[in-house]
Structure 1
């Protein structure tokens, strides 16, 4: 169950990061609410995951999901560059997170 909590934490981290960009562009209360809700849920699920998972593993996977997911959402939602080098390095971040799962 701890890995499910960690994946949820990463997904909510992606929502929080996306809402930072939305807040800067729109300055509406919905973006601000979702920003705080996304990060709040992210920290809650990270804390739940860390009851069973080592801190270093949990933090590395959480940041990997958030960073890679945020970059992917930026490409999809905000037209950020989609060049091959960028996608390659995002894949490396995700493969490192999967590797940590396999050895933990």
Structure 2
């Protein structure tokens, strides 16, 4: 269950990153509220996962999901560059997260 919680935490992290971009564009209280809720939920699920998983593993996977997910969402939703090099490095981050799961 800790691994599922960790993935959910990463997904909320991605949502929080999207809300940072929304807040930058819209500057309204709904954006602020969604940003707080997204990152708050992310921290709650991360904390739950860290009751079972080692801190280093949990944090590395959480940030990996958030960072790579944010980059992927930027490419899909905001027309950021989709160069093959970016995709290779995103795949490396995700591969490292899978590797941590396999050895943990």
Q: Which interval holds the TM-score relative to the shorter structure?
A: over 0.9
Structure 1 unaligned blocks of 5 or more: none
Distance in 2 (alpha carbons) for counterparts of 1:8 and 1:31: 21
**Aligned counterpart, 1:51:** 51
**Aligned counterpart, 2:21:** 21
TM-score, normalized by length of structure 1? Answer: 0.97
| Deviations, residues 70-104 of structure 1 (Å, cap 9, x unaligned) | 00011111111110000110000000001000110
Structure 2 unaligned blocks of 5 or more: none
**Aligned counterpart, 2:71:** 71
Distance in 2 (alpha carbons) for counterparts of 1:49 and 1:62: 10
| Deviations, residues 6-33 of structure 1 (Å, cap 9, x unaligned) | 0000000000011101110111222211
Query: Where does structure 1 differ by over 3 angstroms across 4 or more consecutive aligned residues?
Result: none
Kindly tell me the number of residue pairs found equivalent between the two proteins.
104
